[in-house]
Chains A and B, each alone.
Chain A
Amino acid sequence: MNSHEYTDEELINQFQAGNESAYLELVERFKNRLFSFIYRFVGDVDLAEDLLQDTLVKVYTHKHSYREIAKFSTWIYTIAGNLARTELRKRRRRATFSMSALGLGGRELELPSPDHTPSKIHEGVQTEAAIQRALAQLPLHFRTVVILRDVQELSYDEISKIMKIPLGTVKSRVNRARLRLQEILSNLDENRRNKA
C-alpha cells in the first residue's frame, strides 16, 4: 500500500510504532497548509517558518500524546495555533512587533493568480498586503477563527474542537470576524483613495 493511501490517523499510528517515514509523509502533507496558517497568523515569513519547525518538532517528540479520539489535523492545528499565539503574546509584551511590517523576508512573491502580468502582480501584492495588515488588526480570537475557516477551510466542528469553544460561538465569531475584516479593509481602501 502506498503511503499516500493512508489516512493521517493511520500515519501517526505508524509513526508511534516507530515508522519514521510515516512522520515524513505527515510533514509533506501538512507543511504548506500549516505554513500558510501560521503566516496568516503572525504575518512574518521567517517567524512562520520557525514556528512551523517548532510545531513539527513537537509532533515528533510528543507523538505519544496524540490519542485517536481526535482527528490528527485538529491536534496539529492546536499545537501550531498555541505556539503562534504564545509567540504573538511574547512579542506584544516586548512591544517590538511592527504591524506595518509585512515581514516578507526579502523573499520573492509567488502569486496564486493565473494572470501574471506586471500590473496584476502589483495589484495582487497590494491586496495581499492589505489583507495581511487587516488580519493583524483583528483581535487574536477573531483572527484565529477567520484563518481556520477561510484560509484553512476547516469545518465549524473542527474549529470548535481546536479552539475548545461551542459550535454556536464559532459561528457567531466567524461572522463578526468577517464583518470586522471587511470594515478594516474598507477603511484601508478609503484611506488609500484619499491619499491618492
Chain B
Amino acid sequence: MDCSDFRVLASAHLDFELSFAEQKSFLQHLEGCELCARLLAHMQKIQLHLKQGVSTSLSPDFVARLQERLRTDLARRPAWWRRLVEPGASGLSPASLGGLAVAAMAVLAISLSLFRQEAAPLVEPAGQSLQAGPSFKLIPAQPGSANPAGVADVSTGSDSLLERRDPARRDFSRQMKYVSQVGRP
C-alpha cells in the first residue's frame, strides 16, 4: 500500500468499514509512514471535535416563539385553506380529499379541451382550405369602410363557424337537417 491508497482508505478506517485484509495492510503502512500517521491523527482529532457538537445553544424561548409563529401563520391562512390542509377540520379523510382533487383535475381538463376547440384559429393558413367547404378570406383593411380592421369574412355559406372548421361536425349537422326535413309531414 502506498500513501495515495492510504488516503483513499483513511475514512473507511475511521468508520470501521475496512475488511480484515485492508485493515492489516493499512496498519502496516501506518507504522512505516510518519506523514500518513500525522494525517490520520489530524483527521481523528477533527472528527472528535465535530462529534462534540456545537458550543452554542438554542435560545431558551425557542419553543414558545415557534408556537407563537405557528399560531399567527395559521391564523393568517383563509378558512377554506385550513379545511383543505387539515383533513381533521374538514371531516374528510386524505383519501377523499385526493378523490376530490382528481375529480377537479378531470373537470378542468375537459373544460380546457373544449375551450381549445372553441378557440382554434378561424382563419386557415393559405392553401389549406377545408374539404368541400366554403373558404375564408381576409378582407384587407380599408379606412372609412365598415370593416376598418380587416376581419375575416365569415358571412359566406350557411354553415356555422364550428361546422366549417370541422368537416365531421358539418356532415353530422347536415344529416340531422336532412333527417328533420324528411321526417316532416
Contacts and interface: CB of A to CB of B under 8 A. Distances in A.
9 contacts: A17-B88, A40-B50, A61-B85, A125-B55, A150-B50, A150-B51, A174-B15, A179-B11, A182-B42
A110 interface: yes
Given A109-B56, A171-B17, 18 more contacts: A28-B63, A31-B63, A40-B50, A45-B56, A49-B58, A53-B65, A61-B74, A64-B85, A64-B94, A110-B55, A125-B55, A128-B54, A151-B53, A171-B11, A178-B46, A179-B43, A182-B43, A185-B46
Contacts of B88: 17-18
> Which of B51, B56, B70 neighbours the largest number of chain A CB atoms within 10 Å of its CB?
B56
Contacts of B101: none
B51 A175 contact: no
Nearest to B86: A18
Interface in B78-120: 85, 87-88, 94
B52 interface: yes
Nearest to A18: B88
Interface of A: 17-18, 24, 27-28, 31-32, 35-36, 39-40, 45, 49, 52-53, 56-57, 60-61, 64, 104, 107, 109-113, 124-125, 127-128, 131, 146-147, 149-151, 153, 156, 171, 174-175, 178-179, 181-182, 185-186
Nearest to A24: B63
B50 A175 contact: no
B30 interface: no
A131 B58 contact: no
A24 B51 CA distance: 26
- B interface residue count range (under 10 / 10 to 19 / 20 to 34 / 35 or more): 35 or more
By secondary structure, the A interface counts as helix
Contact of A57 (B42, B43, B49, B73): B73
Given A57-B70, A178-B11, A36 B53 contact: yes
Interface of B: 7-8, 10-12, 14-15, 17, 39, 42-43, 46-47, 49-59, 62-63, 65-66, 69-70, 73-74, 85, 87-88, 94
Residue among B54, B59, B87 having the largest count of chain A Cβ atoms under 10 Å: B54
A150 B66 CA distance: 28
Given A36-B54, A150-B51, A175 B42 contact: no
A45 B42 CA distance: 27
B51 A153 contact: yes
A57 B12 contact: no
Which 5 residue pairs across A and B have the least CB separation, nearest first?
Answer: A175-B11, A150-B50, A112-B52, A36-B54, A18-B88
